[in-house]
Structure 1
Amino acid sequence: MKFRNNILNHAVKLALTTTTAGLFISGTALAADEQAEVTKVNKNVEKIAVVGTRSAPRSIGDSPVPIDIIGGEELGKSGNTDMLELLKGSIPSLNVHSMPISDAASLVRPANLRGLPSDSTLILLNGKRRHRASVIAFLGGGINDGAQGADISVIPSIALKQVEVLRDGAAAQYGSDAIAGVINFVLKDASEGGSFEVRQGQYYEGDGDTTQISGNIGLPFTDNGFANLSFQYKTADATSRSVQRFDAANLIEAGVPDIAPITQIWGAPEVDDDISIFGNVGLELTKNSEFYMFGNYSERDVRGGFYYRNPHTRPGVYSNDGGETLLVGDLTGDMSGNCPTNIMIDDNVLDNPVYINQVANNPDCFAFNEMLPGGFTPNFGGNITDTSLTIGTKGEFTGGMLEGAYYDLSGTVGFNESRYFIYDTINASLGPDSPRDFSPGKYSQLEKNFNFDLSKGFDFDLAYDVNIAGGLEWHEETFTVTSGDVASFTAGPLTDQGFGIGSNGFPGFKPSDAGEYTRRNYAAYLDIEAPFTEEFLMGLALRYEDYDTFGSTVNYKLMAQYHLTDDLNVRGSISSGFRAPTVGQANVSNVQTNLSSGVLVDSALLPPTNPIAVQLGGTELEPEESQSYTFGAVYTIGEVFLTIDYYNIQVDDRISQSDKIELSQADKDTLEAAGVPNVQSLAQVSFFTNDFDTTTQGIDFVANYATDLLGGSSTFSLAYNWNETEVTRSTNITGVFKVSRLENDLPNHRGTLSWSQQWESFSMFTRANYFGEYQGVHVDYDDTAKMADAAITLDAEVTYFLNDSISFSVGAQNLLDQEAEKLDFTVAPNNNWGGKYYETSPYGINGGFYYAKATYTF
């Protein structure tokens, strides 16, 4: 039967693809007597499942849940070298914000699938759970406040065979973090050949010079295996899309010296020595079993700008009354210097005779205007190290009660460390003896995973075999805080005189802040897929998960697909899900500098069980819980392939950082008694909380068409996403502005239209990107917010093939240099913070980027 064979072939292709990737089906859906059919179609799996821009459709049409397959070739057709930006151009429901001024969120940028935070999307590598980053986005721009997702940017595109994106909840299959979906990165597995690529680019503005050198090689590993190795080395200069701050310009006009032409930089950070090495090894042990191993080592240094410290107003350094009087320290140790405390600050305090005579010319008295008369701008940076290793074996049992069953046994260790640095700042309490550069400490994340999976096809006299899969998983997660250098947290001799403690902008972690926090959990799952007829397939997944902290959870997923005709099928799923709070979110504390109502203040993040947090509404964190459903259709008309899917995701008790809550003096006294540093200069506190519920709904539409055109072969792809999030429950802890950011910061409408053209010696790729209206926000301040206009950007690349081995490409991202929405100074008066654009722009603020690359393939 032709239709039955088509169904079987599609099942084989999907099973083979997703077994290797770990997506949706654990093991194959085939019985032993169908192995001949597997062998026959195996050669065709790649060209059907791996979808680039030049051939087959991007989505797998015979899956009961929506999947995007993005080939490694398509990922290479972009001027951007960051994996997050590459994926954003291919997946309209994925949004990535640049973080021009932030804390650690500028070191590991968060990404949002279907409008949910970065840690609501599970990341897999070759089908195995990827560890999360050690970075927690304390200043994450609303949606990502407090998110702790995986660091995707370490994965080089040259190492990838394809990327598989499941746009559906999958907690029943994989556990925590799969509320929004799953992204699986599949490494290349060739045993021969390879490529070497050099790429150089620059923004139209003449900055942000980026150099990337990457390579991949496939080697035989004995006669029965492969070793595929990849590397990428990258450097990127910083960018600036800034103007001089209004207050700094006034200081220059008043004659204050040593003020930089641009005191506060809004732009991309500098990235140095960004190196990633990935390896993927496979070896056939017997005719029915194989060994596999893959992993990576990655490291980079990142350095970016921070907020300018005004030499007249910065609390704890220059003035403690908003810039009315100068903060002066007595260096005698016994307050015998008779230092003035009432020097009025006018346009230029350096001209004040009292300052000149009693401070500048008095060795017993000190003000930071002597050391840093023009103020200062700290630079925030870090060294990010990421490494992982997975070892396993898989195959088929050939005897006993499990004969014909497929198994997969593996162990994974992943580690991510972020060592922070802050430059060009001071520990004010140390007075003139303060160093300028500090290492405030580091965070590290260690995860261990062990998995055992089984699957077998059973003949229940249905259209074909019922696949039953099950497995066990054990997971351990450890978050470690390491204290910083002494100068970064010590309370110096001027502490009692009102000078701030610790490295200004990011006080170091004290030894009492340091600690190691561990949580373990185990899980068991069952997955059944039953073809009741040749046209109707149903699947059920159940998962039990038990944590040693907050207890257990059970989740399910029910999915179905029905072929109405050979060319049209409908599909849908309903599932429950959860996301466990990370160990870091439950235990971390930190002091950060942020803007509150346009004023630079210090804010403490406290554990949710801290007495002050409890007093303000904090409680021990619990898992988020979700209910989601999706339904859609797949239609093929000749060479046109269409999918459309509606989704609805309800998340209760979402975990996020609370709104910044103003501290009373009584609160400060309690915090000081608890040992929180620099407490009298703190203005606000926040903590992690399960404080609000959301409903996210949307539509994904994908269309592909391949034809012969203009003397060559052409592929057209259209992808569109409508996404809308509504906060259905919130409290004052969440805050009104945060609700607005959750609902409005991301565009409700995103779309891409691409055309790929191939001739004998040339190829061409162009893509139009549509971004709908979004909420423009500057410096995380509600008074600056406004709805920004929709925009279209264009990407293009042309490649010339000199011969079979050498090719040259030129291209541009944002070809027409579409500007981000400019700040509206009717809502951001006087440009107090030096920005030019709303930093929530979904296509960034840096403008057009052009590049050239040379590729050698062997």
Structure 2
Amino acid sequence: MQRSALSRIGSMLFACGLVLSGAGFAAPVLAEEMVEEVVVTGVRGKPRTVQDSPVPIDVFDSETLDSVNVSSMNDIIRTLVPSFSVARQPISDGATFVRPASVRGLASDKTLVLVNGKRRHRSMLVNLGTGQQGPDLATIPGVAIKSVEILRDGASALYGSDAIAGVMNFILKDDREGGSISFDTGQNYWGDGLRMSVEGNIGLPLGEEGFLNISVAKSKNEATVRSEIYCESWWCMNPDGAKYEAFLAARPDRAAYATDADYLAASAFASLDGYGVSDGFTQTWGDPNTEATRGFFNAGFPISETMEVYAFGNYSDSERDGGFYYRYPFNGTIEKIRKEDGDVWWPLEVTTGNYDGNGFAGGFTPRFFGDVTDFSMLGGIRSTGDGPLAWDFSYRFGDATIKYTLKNTINPSLGEATPTSFRPGDLINQEAQFQADFVYDISENASLAFGASYMDESYELGIGGTPSWIAGPYANPDPYGFCNDDLSTSAAGLAVIANGSTLDCSNTSDPVYKTMLIGVNGFQGYDPEMAQEYTRDSYGLYGELGLDLSDDLFVQLAVRYEDFSDFGAETVYKVAAKYDLTDTFGVRGSFNTGFRAPTTGQQGTLNVSTRLPDGVPVASGLFPVQSAAAIALGASPLEPETSEAFSIGVTGSLGDIDFTLDYYSIEVASIMAKVSDLKVSTDPTAGSAYDNYLALVGANVSGAQGIGAVAWFTSGYDVSVSGYDLVATYPIESDLGQTDIGITLGYNERDFDTDPSAFLNTEAQEDYVNYEPNTRMIVSIAHSWSDYMLMVRGSYWGESENYNSGTTQVHDPLWMTDAEFIYVGEEITLSFGVRNLFDEYPAKGTVGDTCCGRVYESGSVIPWSGGHYFMKMSRDF
């Protein structure tokens, strides 16, 4: 496997080299003249330098982003920013395709994302655990980005909802000439995860002064597998497995499968990956297959000496697929039934000696596919003159959609008529916003920024294909009337017996009485009642005053009012200041209030499946908070999450060492959470479950008798996070070349301010406080000489804990080291490197869910794919 992948890498590099070497492009330079970086994030008025900002801001230029050799913006930011964490969650429905992230220990939807200073639309996915719904950074290709400005401070008073923990502002490239093209490829030490990508950027002139800049990226990442052989006490085909003896003792009737030639042959068809029992991986844990095409454009054109029109937008399409849990024979959810001719049918049955690949005689592992499309367009007109009043009018539209497909599975209630490929439905998030911004220079030392916005939002659950949700004939016992109510045989039953059927109506265990689950096994589709659209609109007003009270003191005051059609209004404010004690030392600090409005997706998301307790179909799961069922059982409209935060820090220089040190504290009230399931039963002896049923009936909830459990998102508990960030740089010049050393350290503590036990069990509470490491550090050393550069980057994760059922596993601190060698020739630039040079892994999980071949905790924020080597070739022109 590894040799084949290496061969493909070499072939692709050779072909790309022939193309690139034939073009007469100028070689890039290794370093640029150092300049003070001017930032536009964190202030609405006059732009300020990083050093003069009253709040901490990190700036990463395109060269820095390019030095992180990964294809996803999520992983680029994780590599550069200690406070940003992102997990890889296999077998986690939509979270496998849109990865959940956190910033400073808070869900990523509490950090606002901007592109060119304008709000970026959210993704379509609502995380069913935390409820978070933020933008998908993976849709932003690195090749399109000129720089990223990361504001590490609350800014809701400036930008509105979501900016509780901070702001990320992606500035697009705006060159009107030149461009670049690059090809890179890599593979894991393990021999899997082959990665290839091609990226290009070009700047074109529009008239004498306008520009059109276009970026395109195409990437393909093959899946990874970090699993052990599936071996549990209920199913184990591995004689060397730790639980094999327990399996033999508990399930001697199943042991024969380990030597059954028909089963072993059929198991090769259990997974679309081609993994069978002989490979040991009927179920896999790892990264999904991913193929993506992403593009951005950025344009500006002056229409007079004092005005210009501008536009930018993107289109992204990514297709990903990952596995589900293995459905082994006798799994208890797919049972034998009697067909219309009276014969017994079982989709997991081993057919003796004549297995032909039909059905799933070796069990099956459903394969989940997500086609994620992301589209945005923004256009505007703004002033460019030197007058005291600057203005900017813009309109944007954004759409994020995921189309689900589930293959290699069945709708059991359809029996033999079931297809094996399904379309469970779509999730669609759309936003449209009109924005008007103004800056008035009151004097040389004072500026007033003010503006207004109107936003319309919608979230839709698109109906799935009928086979994905329909209740087939086998959702009910005895669908063909073979038996009478008194367990005697009907005329229809006698007829099939006469034709050789083994039907026995007097035996209540006969397959004729079995019922099968409704909908596609693995991810039930959205039926017409589930498929709904949720909308709202809002408007906001803001003002910001920036004052240079002296050469050494800058003060910022901001206030914002927003009104939402679904929950009401919020007013927030911010005060910040920077004071230079000397030419080399300064102090800064801020206090702000903020909020995050519950999204239409969080109000409308639904995840309901149909189960068959006592053979009666009932719907159980997460209902929209606005649904009749949720309201009848006590749900109330979601409230905004609100925050109070302050920070204080110092900036300074010690010789050639520049540093910043900032302390922060954020308190967030009414964190959104999912209530515990409320059971519903039509049985008068079922206590509170029957009371819930009566409440549904009393509220005239349609289909109350078919509901088994109800949960919803609610405004829940309060939390606080606090910590500090240290950033230091040290350049060294010598006869041997230029060496740049950088250290970024983040420390973060998380705690509850109110009792969360009504929403979170003990495990979830412990994990919130201790699961992510409190300490994260990044150390980078880059040495350049002549036409060469050597870069080494170390990433450190501090101690963390995983708690489950009274047992705690302590994870020791861990270092991972990246290294890259770069050569800049006259025509091309070549780089060779490795990520995770020493092939480090987090500790194997010993508590919690270690089922079914899982080795590493799938929610871990520490990468667990091992070492990865790569090569890159690029040209500027």
TM-score under structure 1 length normalisation: 0.83
Verify: 1:133 aligned to 2:123, yes or no. yes
- Report which stretch shifted further, 576-585 or 728-737: 728-737
Structure-2 change in CA distance of 1:602 and 1:426 (3 Å) = farther
| Residue aligning to 1:752 | 778
Cα–Cα, structure 1 residues 709 and 544, in superposed 2: closer, same or farther, change >3 Å?
A: same
Partner of 1:394: 382
Which residue does the alignment assign to 2:196? 211
Aligned to 1:65: 55
* Structure 2 contact 80–778 (Cα < 8 Å) conserved: yes
| Structure 1 residue 839, shift from structure 2 partner | 1.9
Q: 1:371, 1:783 → 2: CA distance? A: 42
| From 810, 822, 826, the counterpart of 1:787 | 810
Whether 1:769 aligns to 2:753 is no
Cα distance per residue 1:50-102 (max 9 Å; x no partner): xxxxxxxxxx2211001000111111112321111111111001011111221
Q: Which residue of 2 aligns with 1:34?
A: none
Q: What aligned pairs does 1:521-532 form with structure 2 within 5 A after superposition?
A: 521-532=538-549
Equivalence for 1:453: 437
C-alpha distance in 2, partners of 1:215/1:589?
Answer: 40
Say yes or no: does 1:467 pair with 2:447: yes
User: Partner of 1:847 in structure 2?
Assistant: 866
Deviations 1:689-723 (A, max 9, x none): 11111001110110011121462111110000001
* Per-residue deviation, 1:191: 0.9
8 A contact 1:474–1:522 mirrored in 2 = yes
The 5 A counterparts of 1:526-605 are: 526-591=543-608, 604-605=621-622
Match of 1:642 among 659, 663, 687: 659
Does the aligned pair in 2 maintain the 1:27–1:407 contact within 8 Å? no
Q: Distance in 2 between matches of 1:337 and 1:568?
A: 87
| DSSP-derived class of the 1:645 partner | strand
1:718 aligns with 2:743: yes
User: Offset at 1:828?
Assistant: 5.7
Change (3 A) 1:245 1:661: farther
**CA offsets, 1:568-597, max 9 Å, x none?**
110011111110111011122123699xxx
Equivalent residue for 2:639? 622
Please, what TM-score do these two structures have when normalized by structure 2? 0.81
- Give 1:781-820 correspondences, 5 Å limit: 786-803=809-826, 805-820=827-842
Structure 2 residue identity aligned to 1:212: S
Distance 2:670 2:408 in 1: 41
Q: Distance in 2 between matches of 1:193 and 1:677?
A: 65
Contact 2:348–2:359 (Cα < 8 Å) also in 1: no
Alpha-carbon shift at residue 611 of structure 1 (Å):
5.2
Q: Deviations over 1:733-771 (max 9, x none)?
A: 333222222212211000000011222211111110000
Judge conservation of contact 2:463–2:528 (CA < 8 Å) in 1.
yes
User: Does the 8 A contact of 2:348 with 2:363 survive in 1?
Assistant: no
CA distance in 1, matches of 2:135, 2:705: 32
Task: Name the structure 1 match of 2:31.
Answer: none
Whichever of the two has the greater Rg, that structure is 2
Per mean C-alpha deviation after superposition, the further-off stretch among 684-693 and 128-137 is 684-693
Q: CA deviation at 1:13?
A: 6.9
Structure 1 CA distance for aligned equivalents of residues 298 and 393 of structure 2:
17
Aligned equivalents of 1:690 and 1:233: distance in 2? 41
Determine the structure 2 residue equivalent to 1:9: none
Rounded Cα–Cα distance in structure 2 between residues aligned with 1:206 and 1:644: 42
User: Aligned with 1:472: secondary structure?
Assistant: strand
Could you say if the C-alpha distance between residues 822 and 156 of structure 1 is closer, same or farther in structure 2, counting changes exceeding 3 Å?
same
After TM superposition, the structure 1 = structure 2 runs for residues 359-508 of structure 1, keeping only pairs within 5 Å, are 371-396=359-384, 403-459=387-443, 464-497=444-477, 498-508=515-525
Q: Distance in 1 between matches of 2:222 and 2:358?
A: 32
Q: Any idea what SS the aligned residue of 1:371 has?
A: coil
* SS of alignment partner, residue 753 of structure 2: strand
Paired with 1:521 and 1:62, the residues of 2 have a C-alpha distance of 34
Deviations along 1:503-540, one digit per CA (max 9) or x if unpaired, are: 11111111121122211000000000111122111111
8 Å CA contact retained: 2:587, 2:650: yes
How far apart are the structure 2 equivalents of 1:849 and 1:593?
Answer: 43
Aligned residues: 753
User: Deviation at 1:286?
Assistant: 2.2
Distance (whole Å) between structure 2 residues aligned to residue 350 and residue 300 of structure 1: 37
Distance 1:435 1:67, change over 3 A: same
Cα distance between partner residues in 1 of 2:526 and 2:703: 11
Partner of 1:281: 299
| Alignment correspondent of 2:843 | 821
Q: Distance in 1 between matches of 2:734 and 2:409?
A: 60
Percent identical:
35
Q: After superposition, where does 1:731-750 map in structure 2 within 5 Å?
A: 731-750=757-776
One-letter amino acid matched to 1:374: G
Alignment-derived partner of residue 686 in structure 1: 711
Tell me the secondary structure at the aligned position of residue 370 of structure 2: strand
Q: Which residue of structure 2 aligns with residue 511 of structure 1? A: 528
- Could you list the runs of 5+ residues in structure 2 that have no partner in the other structure? 1-34, 238-253, 268-275, 478-514, 612-617, 684-688
CA 1:856 to 1:665, structure 2 compared with 1: closer, same or farther past 3 Å?
A: farther
Contact 1:425–1:437 at 8 Å: present in 2 too? yes
Q: Report how far residue 456 of structure 1 moved.
A: 1.5
**Cα separation, partners in 2 of 1:592 and 1:703, compared to 1, 3 Å:** farther
Gaps of 5+ in 1: 1-11, 30-44, 50-59, 318-326, 362-368, 595-600
Aligned to 2:493: none
Contact 1:541 1:556 in 2 (8 A): yes
- Whether the 8 Å contact between 1:776 and 1:840 is mirrored in structure 2 is no
2-structure distance, mates of 1:740, 1:616 = 29
Question: Are the counterparts in 2 of residues 202 and 208 from structure 1 also a CA contact under 8 Å?
Answer: yes
**Could you tell me whether the CA contact under 8 Å between 1:471 and 1:525 is conserved in 2?**
yes
CA distance in structure 1 between the partners assigned to 2:217 and 2:802 by the alignment = 35
Change (3 A) 1:783 1:566: same
Q: CA separation in 1, counterparts of 2:349 and 2:554? A: 79
Shift of 1:17: 3.1
Distance in 2, matches of 1:821 and 1:661, equals: 37
Distance 1:850 1:676 in 2: 56
- Write out the 4+ residue segments of structure 1 that deviate beyond 4 Å after TM superposition: 348-351, 614-617, 659-680, 781-785
CA distance 1:661–1:748, shift in 2 (3 Å) = farther
Q: 1:308 is matched with which residue?
A: 326
Partner of 2:76 in structure 1?
Answer: 86
Paired AA for residue 549 in structure 1:
D
Q: Give, in angstroms, the shift of residue 150 of structure 1.
A: 0.4
Once the two structures are overlaid, the 10-residue window that deviates more, 252-261 or 694-703, is 252-261
Taking a change above 3 Å as real, the CA distance of residues 178 and 665 of structure 1, as seen in their structure-2 partners, is: farther
Structure 1 residues 296 and 785: CA distance shift in structure 2, 3 A: farther
Partners of 1:775 and 1:661 lie apart in 2 by: 31
Residue 449 (structure 1) shift: 1.1
Asked if structure 1 preserves the Cα contact closer than 8 Å seen for 2:834 and 2:870, the reply is yes
Tell whether the 8 Å contact from 2:775 to 2:798 is kept in structure 1 after alignment: yes
Asked if structure 1 preserves the Cα contact closer than 8 Å seen for 2:305 and 2:384, the reply is no
Distance 2:861 2:716 in 1: 27
SS at match of 1:425: coil
Match for residue 119 of structure 1? 109
Q: Matched residue of 1:392: which SS?
A: strand
Q: Is the 8 A contact 2:83 2:103 kept in 1?
A: yes
Tell me, yes or no, if the aligned pair for 1:489 and 1:502 is still in contact at 8 Å: yes
Change (3 A) 1:616 1:219: same
Structure 1 pair 195–609 and aligned structure 2 pair: CA distance change class (3 A):
same
Which one-letter code corresponds to 1:791 in the other structure? L
Conservation of the 8 A alpha-carbon contact between 2:103 and 2:165: yes
Cα distance in 1 for partners of 2:720, 2:633 equals: 26
Which residue does 2:753 correspond to in 1?
728
